[in-house]
Structure 1
């Protein structure tokens, strides 16, 4: 297929799984001879959380006072202003990865500025606010082609919307996520005051669907037998309001006598540059990722590529792409089960087994393969655009 100009829209420039997916996908598409340009609203004006080997556009975004509904509405309007002219819409394919971009593209289609769009459904939130729920549904319902990163969500889309969705999967950059230590490993230990450990890593911040409360309860049990254990809670950038859940997590930490600070039992890093993540995975003894809901769980592959064992929920999508020997599977509702997996991950024999299986599993997921799986959907939408131009 000849090179296409593809506008990829994501919701943020921050280090979230969906944003990381967009950048890596675009890089792989460019390596295949396409011109994929990642767009994101950028109210802070700092650009994307990492440099990218693909074109990027930071969309001018206004500051917002108000809750999540006001923020999402503002970000949709930011995109509408950016793509308000035919010149700005000079792409063969438009591809949204969330409800913000999807709603903007749906409106542009109604305004006849674009013919159609592709929508990747990473996962779906259970919104209590009617506008958020309607925006999410509209972004899926009005797409010309639907893609999902797992069969789990493709089946959900089929059941809820009666629409077919192709499974494109995820990838991991083995040139960035590697087992070999670098100077960054020691720097990460020093920056966050990490001691002899064991070090338990949680990625995603204090967020309900990440099951941070379950991780905290399990970690408190682990500390009874490993008093020098430390829990690192990395990431947490989100457009959604997690304040009430964060307060519950803080209360649970206080009740367990766990101090949050550099060098303490619990370290909260906040969002991190991608350059720090391979080192953080390597210095961790285990990734604790017993999520309630994931689109895929990209950080599991990243940890495995760095030789770090992973704890995951015994449910899709993890059971879809991981074999029983690849990770430690737990009931996300059972903090004792999670604590037991944390302890098991410290056993040398278990670590050796999980390391070997994890490295093989990570190597089987390439961004090139993921990018190739997009090409049929892109070609179909590009043909529609050409038909419209020549009609």
Structure 2
């Protein structure tokens, strides 16, 4: 394939799974000889959460103090201003990874500034606000080609929308994530007041989709067996408003007398730089990730690569790419099962078994292979671009 210039659009510069996917995908595409440029609205002007081996563009963005609808509308308009001229649209392929970028590209298509776009659907959110739901639907419906990171969501799109989507999967960078200790390990432990453990890690912040309440309830039961156990809740940067659910989580922490803060029973880190994540994974005795609704669960592969057992929901997408021997599967609605899995992960025999299975599983998920699975969709969009556009 002739080298392509690809505009990759994501929703923010913060360390979220979708943003991490975009950066790693673009790096792999560049390694294949293409020019993939990752764009994201950046109201703070700080750039992406990590340095990248691919071009990046911090799109000028307005600060917004209103509702989630106001924020999403503003971010769509930020993109529309950025791509408002033919010169700014000189890409062979436009690829959106969320509803914000997808809606901006759909509008640009109607304005005849671009011929069409590719849309990756990482997962589908259930929005109570009809405007957010409409934007999500439009960003999928108007795409020329659809991609998914898991078969579960590709099947949902086929069954509910009557449209086919290709499955491209995810990857893990084994040059970054590994079980070998580094100098960062002790510093990460010290900075967050992490004791001897056991230590349970949850990634994604206090968010309903991540089932943080279920994790808290399971952890409270684990503390009855291991009074020195700590729960680290990492991440949490999000465009969506999780204040109500966060308040429920805080109430549960108070009810279980779980102190929050560095050195406490529960440590909330907020967004963590990628350079520190491998050390945080290695510090943990288990990753608790019994999500209700997940696109893929990129942190599961990252944890496994670092030698950390993963606790996941017994449902897709986890059951797609993990064998029964790769992780501890639980019913996300059962805090007792989550607690039992946390305790099981501490057993030397279980830990050794899961660590032995991890290398083969993570090796099957490379970013290069993920990038190569995008090329057919890109080629189809290039052919569309070469066709004349009639009024």
Q: What TM-score do you get using the length of structure 2 for normalisation?
A: 0.99
The CA deviation at 1:359 is: 2.1
Task: Name the counterpart of 1:312.
Answer: 312
**Aligned residue in 2 for 1:264:** 264
Residues 1:35 and 2:11 are matched in the alignment? no
In 1: Cα distance, 2:173 partner to 2:293 partner: 24
Q: Kindly state the Cα deviation for residue 161 of structure 1 after the two structures are TM-superposed.
A: 1.1
Matched, 1:154 2:147: no
8 A Cα contact 1:198 1:226, kept in partner: yes
Give the CA RMSD over aligned residues: 1.0
CA distance in 1 between counterparts of 2:340 and 2:388 reads 59
Question: What are the within-5 Å matches in structure 2 for residues 1-391 of structure 1?
Answer: 1-388=1-388
Report how far residue 383 of structure 1 moved: 1.2
When structure 1 is superposed on structure 2, of 377-386 and 323-332 the one drifting more is: 377-386
Q: In 1, Cα distance between the equivalents of 2:66 and 2:57?
A: 26
Matched position secondary structure for 1:357: helix
Q: C-alpha distance in 2, partners of 1:356/1:81?
A: 51
Return 5+ residue gaps in structure 1 as ranges. none
Are 1:75 and 1:100, in contact at CA under 8 Å, matched by a contact in 2?
Answer: yes
Please report how far the alpha carbon of residue 390 of structure 1 lies from its aligned counterpart in structure 2 after TM superposition.
11
> Distance in 1 between the 2:301 and 2:358 partners?
8
Q: Distance in 1 between matches of 2:359 and 2:223?
A: 28
In the alignment, the residues of structure 2 paired with residue 387 and residue 302 of structure 1 have an alpha-carbon distance, to the nearest angstrom, of: 42
What do residues 58-108 of structure 1 show as CA deviations (whole Å, max 9, x unaligned)?
000001121100000000000000000000000000000000000000000
Question: Which moved further from structure 2: 92-101 or 357-366?
Answer: 357-366
Corresponding residue SS for 1:187: helix
**Deviation beyond 6 Å, 4+ runs, structure 1:** none
Q: Report SS of the residue matched to 1:268.
A: strand
CA apart distance, 1:358? 1.8
Residues 115, 388 of structure 1: 8 Å contact kept:
no
Structure 1 residue 388: deviation in Å?
2.9
Query: 2:38, 2:385 → 1: CA distance?
Result: 20
Report how far residue 389 of structure 1 moved: 7.4
Give the aligned length: 391
Residue deviations 1:152-184, cap 9 Å, x none? 000001112110000000000000001100010
Residue ranges of structure 2 left out of the alignment (5+ in a row) = none
Structure 2 CA distance for aligned equivalents of residues 118 and 101 of structure 1: 10
Contact (CA 8 Å) 1:282, 1:307: kept in 2 or not? yes
- 1:319-341 CA distances to partner (integer Å, 9 max, x unpaired)? 01100000000000000000000
Q: Distance in 2 between matches of 1:262 and 1:174?
A: 29
TM-score norm. by structure 1 comes to 0.99
